[in-house]
Amino acid sequence: MTHQVHIIGGGLAGSEAAWQLGRRGIRVRLSEMRGGGDTTPAHQGDGLAELVCSNSFRSDDDTANAVGLLHHEMRQCNSLVMRAAAEAQVPAGSALAVDRDVFSAHVEKALTELPTVEIVRERVDVLPTDGLTIVATGPLTAASLAESIGGATGADSLAFFDAIAPIVHRHSVDMDVCWIQSRWDKKTEASNEDGDYINCPMNKEQYLAFRQGLLDGEKTEFKQWEADTPYFEGCMPIEVMAARGEDTLRFGPMKPVGLDNPHDRTPEFPQGRWPYAVVQLRQDNKLGTLWNMVGFQTKLKHGAQVDLFRTIPGLEQAEFARLGGLHRNTFLNSPRLLDRQLRLKSAPHIRFAGQITGCEGYVESSAVGMVAGMMAAAELAGENWTSPPPTTALGALLSHITGDAEAESYQPMNINFGLFPMPEEQVHKKARKAFYTERAKRDLSAWLGTAQPVPA
């Protein structure tokens, strides 16, 4: 099959871009190096759209939450990632979490069944010199291609560290110590009967000892080329958070509020009292056999992780399906290098999509891949591309990546209402998120109705 668009990278962004193009009848060559003899430091398998860090797409609330709004907008655009997430959903309260294997398999099956998409297991070492191309290789771009990108951009990519949280086998958790509950007992249709999180309680003495263990534990050593790489605030290793203050973890991933320990009931607290701190586990697969440690991305060495995490009450006999890890992520200075259609200014036949553009998060990466595919489709059809309004989540994210952010201080960014234009009229602070959401849905609907027909 002679392709019209070459997509390099079969992660979330590349898979979404291929879906958007293929559904519009455009012939796509999707190159993915995994399965062709190569891999990355973070991936475990060869499946398309493999989730390498958390299994959560974060909040699915589209009434007053920016990432939930982005979910809604992607669904309106017939997103493959959102379709797959619905098929692979596991209980996680108001969050959208998925079984990683089911999710990846759904994406790969959907693309394999599209006659317009050819999936090729190959490593691409240099940027193509002609032909429409979307580079969606993510933050773990192979060294040879990264060197080619560096040569084309004439500028060094920025870099930051991204850490991976451990996964625990459910049968090894002591439920005589732990219990299942969602914070404040909030549940959704996807929730388990008792709640969505396994909670491991700590008293003050246990918490302080655990925090000290994080500080003292043996860490992964940096290589020389990593020495000056900063952390991204949205994926901070837990030991780095621990170093910021004695109570930082208790107000972050280990906060106990809204969690009543049923093993600690008294006449005064018949539902159980809040512990001093809590370690939460979130379901990671459909079977409920694997649970990940929420917020516990770490750079501790594997032996140190096992020793320390088994001091957590209820995890004394924990068996780990995967331990935490650390890898360096790279991304472009997109406001300086890309135009408003994600094209490389020095080589406009090449678009970039996904995390390599400096968006952060599964959903954001998928969304940028989705829009990159729509942009390429419009270009092939000879149509003038009209971007989503900046009042929408899609438009706000694109605006940040392609020009609104300061190039000198550009950093990876999750979608948030701070990227949206302020209301022209007076809106009370408490009603502002709802206002942003309602305005975005209205404006997206108008945009889809006039500018971007979406294949069913």
Residue type, 100: R
CA distance 373 to 80: 12
Contact 207, 252 (CB under 8 A): no
Q: Report residues of the chain scoring pLDDT below 70.
A: 1, 40-42, 155-162, 222-234, 451-453, 456
Whole-angstrom distance, CA of residue 369 vs CA of residue 153: 20
Instruction: Kindly give the interhelix angle for 80-88 and 12-22, rounded to the nearest 10 degrees.
Output: 120
Beta strands in 70-147 (DSSP E): 89-90, 95-98, 117-121, 132-135
Annotated binding site for FAD: 9-14
pLDDT in tens, 216-253: 999 877 655 455 666 666 678 899 899 999 999 999 99
Q: Three-state SS for 173?
A: coil
Q: How many CA atoms lie within 13 A of 229 on its CB side?
A: 23
What pLDDT, on a 0 to 100 scale, did the predictor assign at position 272?
Answer: 84
- DSSP lists the bridge partners of residue 179 as 199
Whether the Cβ atoms of residue 117 and residue 28 lie closer than 8 Å to each other? yes
N-to-C CA span, the chain: 24
Q: Is the pTM higher than 0.85? A: no
pLDDT of residue 232: 67
Residue 300 is given by DSSP the state B
Distance CA 51, CA 274 (A): 33
Please state, in angstroms and rounded to a whole number, the distance separating the CA atoms of residues 258 and 178: 15
What residues contact 38, with CB distance under 8 A and at least 6 apart?
A: 123, 142
CA-only gyration radius of the chain, Å: 22
- What's the rounded Cα separation, in Å, for the pair 235 and 233? 6
CA–CA separation, 114 vs 28, rounded Å?
A: 10
For tokens 């490389």, the residue is 344
Q: Distance between CA 392 and CA 399 in Å, rounded?
A: 10
CA distance 199 to 180: 6
d(CA 364, CA 147): 25
Nearest Cα neighbor of 175 from 201, 193, 196 is 201
Instruction: Please give the pLDDT value at position 225.
Output: 46
Closest CA to 333 of 280, 240, 228, 408: 408
Q: How many CB atoms lie within 10 A of CB 456?
A: 5
Which domains are assigned to the chain? 5-157+332-450 (3.50.50.60), 164-328 (2.40.30.260)
Known binding-site positions: 9-14
